Structure 1
């Protein structure tokens, strides 16, 4: 039996029972009060009066039951229409339909349920979009190192190349690149998750910058890159220390890729009104205007010797924005690049 029919029957049975109960009381009380009257030939009068009451009651009950049944069906249909609409909405979600609308917008429990289903639709759409994006990222990013490794192994197998330590090391480097790549994609997926949160605690910003430099000291020494610091050590701010280190690591690594041997990276920390700015400047080969505008886009790579994954700077931008800050870049070819990170002292 359909749900709206069940609701109509429940309403009809309840109202009919109430109607019969009230009619019985009226008949009883009408007869009782008539008996209290001392009327000559009262027996015949009472008989006709009772008969009139019964006929009136029967006709009234019959007509009212018809009205009750019709009105119950209409009421049940009106009550169950939004429920059926929500059920249809939920079934479409299960089938994979997205970006749906609900016409029932009244602010009652049913309307609130509809609003929750719309939010669920938006969340599912977001998850599916991220899943597709993640799949595209994986296909795009993993293809190149895998192709390189395959070409090396094919050359070894066919005897075109001899498996020298240098060539084997090249394969290992491609594998390391894959490992780093998967880690970056995993981080990007976490950042895009609606439940992603950063853990904010008060830290001395200058100390965090120095720790980031120390973590990259061996690579900086190997490339003979000089680092100059001008840090305001009085600045304390609420940040996620792990994520700020990741931000600085990505920017400094970007500078290292562009700086020639014996180049310089200059890092400055200064305080503004209610915020602080970290400036990272290098005297490397710089970037053209297109690269400066697109460096924070997913999978974008400049046409130079930079060999990154194309998502490191995207991660950097998202992490800065998660702190309530913003990041920008200015660069000139063959002169250098400057990154500006501005973040609030407290959030």
Structure 2
């Protein structure tokens, strides 16, 4: 049977406290007993010595007929609850307190049931009566014997029993209070941990069921729970954004594929019905639409490649200058369609250690975008340079630019930006080109940044570490 986190934490917390209190109680009781018994034994020895001293004082004052009452022996015995009996050398009784000093023990032990139980526990009963016998000497001659009787191993008094009982009672009360406080603290802590985790679990279930708009909104001082909550929120936000982009991609792709298919279908129907003759011009129109479909399929394949993120770099050393010139020359027909001019500015003769095909793909994607979104008769600047021991490549156009709303997301997976931007320029695509470009740049340990506005156009900057650059 599974137990909730709240109960698990509470049970664990209480168990730890109880174990700690039991260990503390046992240890404390043992140490109190040990030290208290040592103290009582020493005190008992001192009292025995005092009794001997009083007896010796009485004998020194009158060796023939000592006055033990006069020196306070009877009072001392009564106060300290000792039975004292003194006999002379002929075993004649010369002093006896009787049982009266021990009546305090008997009365105290039977005062009430608790006192009786405690008296029995600590041996405070006449059944535990003990005696010690000592020789009385004067001028190195034995003149008698004293017998000292007492209760228990060290004549423990009623006050001592009461004090000891008070100590145990205070430990018991303190333990009880500690348990109550611990339970309250355990409940508070378990709630502080359990409630946020339950909310996170609920949010996770909602995300699994497709409710991507759910957010945890948990306020806690526990760092791990706060990080977990943020991770769940970021996951939901990312999935929600990706879902939106996928839906948009599906809609856009359906629209893009429908258009060439409709054109091809209408042309073929016209050929079949004899309305049109299959002239080279009409067949070329169909061919162009087929090429357009082929391009869309390639874009979908690019998406699949990005999903797998399986880019294996085949690096080699080549001239950056020569490669840039080849790429630009291959794009001259596209420049000419829009009557675009380009400026190639390369300050250094640079050789790089990169994957040449991937580098071509990076530059083709950036330059294709620059051509798509440039105005007719515009200019595109391509420059490369080394600064602060890093290689930089800039691709700048002066076209319609990217809106501030779209700029933070242009490298996001499947993001196509403002639809009006594409429709104004009659461009098409899957929104995967810049994502692939960023992935390829980062595969070379580089970074790509963009600055753009609707007035001054756009500039993409690629930055590679100098370790990947070989300069002549």
For the criterion TM > 0.5, the same-fold answer is: yes
Shift of 1:142: 0.9
CA distance in 2: counterparts of 1:311 and 1:55, whole angstroms: 84
Match for residue 469 of structure 2? none
Q: Does 1:210 align with 2:318?
A: no
- 1:112/1:86 Cα in 2 relative to 1: closer, same or farther (>3 Å)? same
Secondary structure (helix, strand or coil) at the match of 2:427 reads: coil
Q: Does 1:311 align with 2:431?
A: yes
- Cα deviation per residue 1:166-214 (whole Å; 9 max; x = unaligned)? 57535533431321332455578799xxxx9x99999754233134236
Match for residue 125 of structure 1? 236
Rg larger in 1 or in 2? 2
Q: Structure 2, unaligned stretches of length 5 or more?
A: 49-79, 84-149, 208-212, 411-415, 467-472
CA distance in 2: counterparts of 1:224 and 1:49, whole angstroms: 111
Q: Does 1:83 align with 2:193?
A: yes
Selected match of 1:146 from 257, 262, 269: 257
Selected match of 1:9 from 4, 7, 15: 15
Q: Does 1:43 align with 2:180?
A: no
Match for residue 383 of structure 2? 269
Match for residue 146 of structure 2? none
CA contact (8 A) 2:386 2:392 kept: yes
How many pairs were matched up? 322
Secondary structure (helix, strand or coil) at the match of 2:19 reads: helix
Match for residue 108 of structure 1? none
Higher helix share: 1
Q: Compute the TM-score of the two structures, normalised by the length of structure 2.
A: 0.52
Q: Does 1:112 align with 2:223?
A: yes
CA distance in 2: counterparts of 1:34 and 1:271, whole angstroms: 94
CA distance in 2: counterparts of 1:27 and 1:279, whole angstroms: 88
Selected match of 2:27 from 14, 21, 28: 21
CA distance in 1: counterparts of 2:21 and 2:181, whole angstroms: 11
CA contact (8 A) 1:199 1:239 kept: no
CA distance in 1: counterparts of 2:265 and 2:351, whole angstroms: 54
CA distance in 1: counterparts of 2:461 and 2:386, whole angstroms: 9
Match for residue 232 of structure 1? 346
Higher strand share: 2
Secondary structure (helix, strand or coil) at the match of 1:162 reads: helix
CA contact (8 A) 2:449 2:461 kept: yes
Higher relative contact order (CA 8 A, sep 6+): 1
Selected match of 1:65 from 156, 175, 178: 175
Q: What is the root-mean-square deviation in Å for CA atoms of aligned residues?
A: 5.1
CA distance in 2: counterparts of 1:303 and 1:186, whole angstroms: 25
Q: Structure 1, unaligned stretches of length 5 or more?
A: 106-110, 333-337
CA contact (8 A) 2:203 2:215 kept: no
Selected match of 1:162 from 268, 272, 282: 272
Shift of 1:87: 2.1
Q: Does 1:55 align with 2:165?
A: yes
